[in-house]
Amino acid sequence: MKTRITLLTMILTALMATFVLLGCQDQESMAIAENTSPEVPAIPVAVEIVEPVTLRDVILLPGETEASEDVKVAANTAGPVDWIGPREGQKVNKGDLLIKIDVSALKASLDHAEAAYKLAGDLYQRRLRLYDNKIIAREELDQSETQRTLALTDLEQIKVRYNYGFPKSPITGIVNHLYLDEGEYADIGKPIVDIVNIDKIKINVRVPELDVRFVKKGQQTSVKIDAFPDRTLIGTVDFVSFKADPATKTFLVRSIIDNPDHDIRPGMIGRVAFVRRVIADAVAAPLFTLVDKGGERIVFVEKDGVAESRTISIGVIEGDRVQITSGLDAGDHLIVKGQTEVEDGMKVIVK
């Protein structure tokens, strides 16, 4: 019996020793496997060396275009329209005849006034000769001179009323709209024609109260018209309001641009850029290099073959670049390609 127990004990002891030996070998194999696992490859990136640049702090405001001159000509006398000169879309010069209104009733009055003035003038000349020959007194000559003056006044008044029948263009421009046709009745104070001058175009914008201090008369502005997105124009500030709009607390600012081809028309939408300040030697980065991590703006820089994250603060944005006020320095190797694929501490290779 004792012999069997001793034999069983020896067998169990041998089995336990075998299990222990196998366990050690497994741990050693695992350790060797860990030490010989393949290394994570470096991420390929492209970098840009950060250099100081000049940035402009620009405010872009929308506005509506307006003709440099826009005149609505009204009738100063009543009567049927006998003739219309320039038609819609045609150019007129200052002083050109626009229409003719029938004022034949005033023609007789004009002829009478001209005759009366001529008679008064002849009478004055005769009495002047008589006075020079000491035939009449000075008082009679003065009466004759007064009659001549009154006749001239009546003639001028009739001429003005008569000429109201032949309205002329007050400006050089283009006929934009005719309110009457031939044969229609023109009434006093009613419009007869609209004339616009679009050789130059005004763009009216509303500038916030915090920004109006940066806008000065004579300042140049960059202008874009929505209808011509590929064209950039240069305007000049012509007027800065001295009083804010009580409803919006903004100030009217008017910029003037040249319009030699007349393709920019009143009523179009334009956008005017005002430069508030110029920042020299600014540290800037392309907007697309900024990465959002949990609500924080960061950029990645390459340093000694490793990606390093930087939490940044931003300032002025101009075009596709943004001012970095903290977190990035001149001379840093900013990652501009592959920045969304790396994490802080990852190995990178610059290509």
Could you say which of 94, 128, 156 is where a domain stops?
156
Find all residues with CB under 8 Å of 54, minimum gap 6, and list them: 278, 279, 280, 281, 282
325 located within any domain: yes
215 located within any domain: yes
Mean pLDDT, to the nearest integer, of 92-107?
93
Q: 199-244 pLDDT, tens per residue?
A: 999 999 999 999 999 999 999 999 999 999 999 999 999 999 999 9
20 located within any domain: no
301 located within any domain: yes
Could you say which of 256, 277, 298 is where a domain stops?
277
Q: Could you tell me if 117 and 151 lie in one domain? A: yes
Q: In the structure encoding, which two tokens stand for residue 248, read together?
A: 């919006």
What's this model's pTM, rounded to 2 decimal places?
0.67
Domain that holds residue 127: 105-156
DSSP assignment letter at 347 = B
Locate tokens 């005769």: which residue? Answer: 126
- Euclidean distance between CA atoms 323 and 330, whole angstroms: 12
Q: Domain count of the chain?
A: 3
Contacts 24+ apart (CB under 8 A), 78-81: 78/185, 78/186, 78/187, 78/188, 79/103, 79/165, 79/185, 79/186, 80/183, 80/184, 80/185, 80/186, 81/180, 81/181, 81/182, 81/183, 81/184, 81/185, 81/186
Average pLDDT of the chain, as a whole number = 88
186 located within any domain: no
Q: 9-64 pLDDT, tens per residue?
A: 555 555 455 444 444 454 544 544 444 445 668 899 999 999 999 998 889 999 99
163 located within any domain: no
7 located within any domain: no
Q: Could you tell me if 273 and 295 lie in one domain? A: no
Q: 75-84 pLDDT, tens per residue?
A: 999 999 999 9
Could you say which of 260, 277, 294 is where a domain stops?
277
- For the chain, report the end-to-end CA distance as a whole number of angstroms: 81
Quickly count: other Cβ atoms within 10 Å of residue 292's Cβ: 8
Q: Could you tell me if 299 and 268 lie in one domain? A: no
